[in-house]
Amino acid sequence: MMKKVTRMVGKYEVGRTIGEGNFAKVKFAQNRETGESVAMKILAKSTILKHKMVDQIKREISIMKIVRHPNIVRLHEVHQGRLSENESRRYFQQLIDAVAHCHRKGVYHRDLKPENLLLDAFGNLKVSDFGLSALRQKGVGLLHTTCGTPNYVAPEVLGHQGYDGAAADVWSCGVILFVLMAGYLPFEEIDLPTLCRKYSCPFWFSPVAKALIDKILDPNPKTRIGIEGIKKHPWFRKSYEPVGHSEEEEVNLDDVHAVFDDIEDHYVAEQLENSEGGPLVMNAFEMIALSQGLNLSALFDRRQDYVKKQTRFVSRKPAKVIISAFEAVAESMNLKFHTHNYKTRLEGISENKAGQFAVVLEVYEVGPSLFMVDARKASGETLEYHEFYKNFCAQLENIIWKPPEGC
């Protein structure tokens, strides 16, 4: 009979895989000293380095240590179907308690959705997955990173003008409440104009519940109800029992810094060895935000972009070949150029001799052997920029990829 192999990580015995994502596995594990069952998230150092995730993972672990709360854990579960108004209220109360705690600690979740909520054996809600969270920084007001899940993201996050993390989290909580009570999403399309239009509540929503949801799903973050306003609302106050917990526990992040400083040292050494890293990786959400909601056709048909000051195209050539092509065309057009970290700045004199004309071209990796070039006007007239872009792309036809006919 084959002997069972026991895998230990510190004091934890690691068991079966209970979840798996793009960059990590979640395994069942048990503390051999206490018998406590836990979920262990496992990431390979090589993956962290390859995808430049050191800061992200370090931030997630630090935040998980900071926001200790009875309604916050790391695992997630998807709610299916609609719940009664009383059930929805109970879970929403616990969600708001957890989010309020995060905000007091200077943490904005930025990816609140049903998939990131767990119900424990006692029916208590737990918030999970702080991978996209942000920590409040001194001297920094609005956040600017476009992130989250499109169906639950606040309209101001898509506006690229900066947003308040607390107000954006409140919007996501409102969408979650709507989904819990309705069983479907309040918005069919995920773009800025749709999110700013009025939605309709189903007939079974009570008037007082609808009134609260209307205050939460206010597209204007400045007039949107906040956490304290939600807690004072009559619908929320019904049968509300605030969770008791201690907030005085000191948090020590020395172990986090020790682990990731070592990884960063490894990363710096690897970068020096390779002399230069690869282009930035663009995720699907960022592509959607750049490409007018869920319409990605502008990436492949440059004519759709001519009215904008920002344009883009896709290439299947290696990133270094793309950069070399930029420099060769710039030289033929008598433009100055400077390249650093797969970002090229082209400079010249405006046709009307009124000043300097400048364009920035940046290469992003969006998939295996697939790169997106994002071009934007840095200075000069917009019409002149579009004329330049058309001429510039005409000389790059050998690197611009077009989908096959019929795709």
Query: Residues 97, 111, 129, 305: which is the catalytic one?
Result: 111
- Residues contacting 328, CB < 8 A, separation 6+: none
The number of beta carbons lying within 10 Å of the beta carbon of residue 342 is: 21
3-class SS at 188? coil
* Residues 193, 199 contacting (CB under 8 angstroms): no
* Residues 356, 348 contacting (CB under 8 angstroms): yes
Gap between the Cα atoms of 235 and 201, Å rounded: 16
Gap between the Cα atoms of 163 and 141, Å rounded: 9
The number of beta carbons lying within 10 Å of the beta carbon of residue 397 is: 8
The number of beta carbons lying within 10 Å of the beta carbon of residue 185 is: 13
* Residues 359, 345 contacting (CB under 8 angstroms): yes
Over the range 251-287, which residues count as b (16 or more CB within 10 Å of their CB) and which as e?
eeeeebeeebeebbeebeeeeeeeeeebbeebeebbb
- CA 186 to chain centroid, in Å, comes to 21
Residue carrying the six token digits 């709610």: 79
Catalytic-residue membership of 111: yes
Gap between the Cα atoms of 281 and 297, Å rounded: 20
3-state helix, strand, coil in the chain (%, to 5): 40, 20, 45
The residues pairing with 42 across neighbouring beta strands, listed in sequence order, are 25
* Residues 124, 71 contacting (CB under 8 angstroms): yes
* Residues 312, 298 contacting (CB under 8 angstroms): yes
Gap between the Cα atoms of 15 and 382, Å rounded: 59
Active centre residues (catalytic): 111
